[in-house]
């Protein structure tokens, strides 16, 4: 049994989660913001994304394993406020089955393949 989520069938480890790295939902549809080091949004660097079927008042980064937590289900993500055009801060999310999500790298690679066709 997983001591973190309490499910008998869960064998998730922090090592698996860290090895896979950033993950992202299957309905991610495109990059909204590319946030560079010098933009200084609470130390966040990377991309935020829009999601199909979700009104885009905010765009969201990929889910980043929370290295400060022992719990492999804990992820952090950065929120960008598209209305205001500014960084909106961090939020923590519990992900039941992170191994079922595509990785951010897989998503970006699939986007690239489509653009190159």
Among 10, 31, 56, 76, interactor with Zn ion by CB under 5 A: 10
In a 13 Å sphere around the CA of 104, the CA atoms on its Cβ side amount to: 18
- Residues 37-76 binding Zn ion (CB under 5 A) are none
- Does the protein bind Zn ion through residue 31 (CB under 5 A)? no
Number of residues that bind Zn ion (CB under 5 A): 5
Closest approach, Cβ 18 to Zn ion, in A, equals 15
Closest CA to 33 of 52, 46, 20: 46
Task: Compute the CA torsion angle 38, 42, 43, 48 (nearest 10 deg).
Answer: -80
Closest approach, Cβ 5 to Zn ion, in A, equals 3
Closest approach, Cβ 97 to Zn ion, in A, equals 9
- Does the protein bind Zn ion through residue 5 (CB under 5 A)? yes
Q: How many residues does the chain have?
A: 117
Residue 89 and residue 81 in contact, taking contact as beta carbons nearer than 8 Å: no
Nearer to Zn ion, 6 or 53 (CB): 6
Applying CB under 5 A, the residues found at the interface with Zn ion are 2, 4-5, 10, 12
């Amino acid at each position: 049994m997983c001591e973190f989520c309490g499910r008998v069938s869960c064998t998730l480890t922090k090592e698996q989660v860290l090895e896979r790295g950033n993950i992202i939902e299957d309905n991610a549809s495109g990059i909204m913001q590319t946030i560079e080091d010098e933009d200084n949004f609470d130390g966040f660097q990377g991309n935020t994304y829009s999601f199909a079927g979700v009104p885009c008042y905010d765009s969201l980064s990929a889910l980043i394993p929370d290295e400060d937590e022992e719990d492999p289900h804990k992820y952090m993500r950065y929120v960008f406020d598209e209305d205001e055009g500014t960084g909106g801060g961090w939020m923590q999310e519990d992900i039941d089955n992170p191994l079922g999500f595509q990785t951010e790298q897989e998503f970006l690679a699939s986007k690239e393949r489509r653009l190159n066709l």
